[in-house]
Amino acid sequence: MMPPKPPNIEAVPASRPPGAVAKVINLKWIIPLVLLVILAAAYRTQLRERIRNWATMANDTPTAGVVGDMIEKAADPRAALLAAWNSGGIVHREVAIAEVRQLFPAKTALPPAFETVVLSAALDPDQDVRELALGILRARQDPALYALAAEQARDADPEVRLFGLEQLKDAPAAIGGPLAVAGLDDPELSVVGESAKLLENWSGQSFGFKLADAVELPDATTGRMAYPPQGRAKTMAAAQQARSWWQQHQGEFQPVHLSVPAQALQVRLVSAGDFNLRDMEGRPVRLSDFRGKVVLLNFWTTWCTACVGEMPELIALQNNQSNTVAILGVSLDLLPDDDGDNQPDPKKIPGKVARVIKERGINYPVILDARDEIGGRFNGGELPTTVIIDAQGYVRRRFVGPRNLAVLETMIAEAGQPRP
């Protein structure tokens, strides 16, 4: 008879306490986790910068301060500046040009890539960008300044022509004289006045007027721009004296040929993107709905005197060209002021805007931009701001301040032509 088998009992080592298996398993995860924490700590600055840069570049409506911080705090500010410029965003591009001054003081040389940016910006669709770029060239005494100033002096916008002439103050009469003489016949009195003043300075004579005679001022009641009493007569008399002086002395100056750098003539495509909001009647308004038409965006508020004063020009434009132009008024009344002190009442503002629409006889759609979706994208906070977009959806003009009907019609016609 065989003896019975002893029971199969698994021996448990006395040296392994209860729960030891779990601890061994957990250790497999703890080591990689610790390494990950160490790596994250070592690269947290780079990671934070990448996240900040991505968020800023992806934001359609960043503030100028946010974009400036992105560039200034970047490990490579130069690369960040170029990225902001090439993004195509209105705010990004304006800040990028302004930051050129910070990264490259006037006495330091501009690297080729940044020189190209500045020269291209001098003929940008955005007037603010143009003025910043020309300011940089002026501070550097760049040889391209006068040629680019001459391009401004021939622009369709009288404010741009005026700014271009102002850049010629330090130019020899041989360079600026012909441009100033042409400006004496300009339809805008302010341009005539600046031209006469330039020739007055070059001649060393007084033509009997002041620049204040040729500066428009808003009427306190209507907001319409008007020249001072007798200002036109004094300015035109000065222009006649300036013509006479130039006719007598023109032969004393050797003609100078001005050549615009090739970099300045590069195509500048700034997409307007799209938006989807509702007008005061509750109807949906999409920018893409107007493809095939020139679109004029006008940013305004009920308390902006110049904005209200410009409305008759926009109403007339709508009457004259409604088949080819879409005008959209964008009210920013619901936005707080820059200091945050003025918090508009969202219950009262729509009624206030509606009253202005009725009282002024506005005949084009008005959008109440409650969250700064459009105003933030086009940097519309300085009032009034106007953006002209061509039939393909590209920004052809962005400028601040009112313009009269003739100027607006010229700009619309320009935007209706193929991009140069």
Taking only the tens place, the pLDDT of each residue in 61-105 is 999 999 999 999 999 999 999 999 999 999 999 999 999 999 999
Half-sphere exposure of 358 (CA within 13 A, CB side): 8
Which strand (E) or helix (H) includes residue 276? strand 276-278
The enclosing H or E element of 360 equals helix 349-360
Angstrom distance (rounded) from CA 200 to CA 356: 45
CB of 105 within 8 A of CB of 90? no
- First-to-last alpha carbon distance for the chain, in angstroms, is 112
Rounded Cα distance, 260 and 175, in Å? 14
Q: Which residue has the tokens 């209706």?
A: 416
Q: What span, in angstroms and rounded, lies between the C-alpha atoms of 366 and 377?
A: 17
Q: Largest Cα–Cα distance of the chain, in whole Å?
A: 145
Average pLDDT for 366-382: 95
Question: Does residue 229 register a pLDDT over 70?
Answer: yes
Query: Is the distance from CB of 406 to CB of 321 less than 8 angstroms?
Result: no
Name the region of 113 (left: φ>0; alpha: ψ -120 to 50; beta: rest): alpha
Gap between the Cα atoms of 60 and 287, Å rounded: 15
Label the pairing between strands 276-278 and 284-286. Answer: antiparallel
Beta-bridge mates of residue 367: 279, 330
Domain boundaries, the chain: 34-144, 161-259, 276-415
- For 288-311, the pLDDT digits (tens) are 999 999 999 999 999 999 999 999
Per-residue pLDDT tens digits for 307-321? 999 999 999 999 999
Taking 50 as the threshold, does the pLDDT of residue 109 lie above it? yes
Report, at the CATH architecture level, how domain 276-415 is classified.
Answer: 3-Layer(aba) Sandwich (3.40)
Per-residue model confidence (pLDDT) at position 39: 62
Helix (H, G, I), strand (E, B) or coil at 166: helix
Both tokens assigned to 397: 């003009």
Average pLDDT over the chain, rounded to an integer: 90
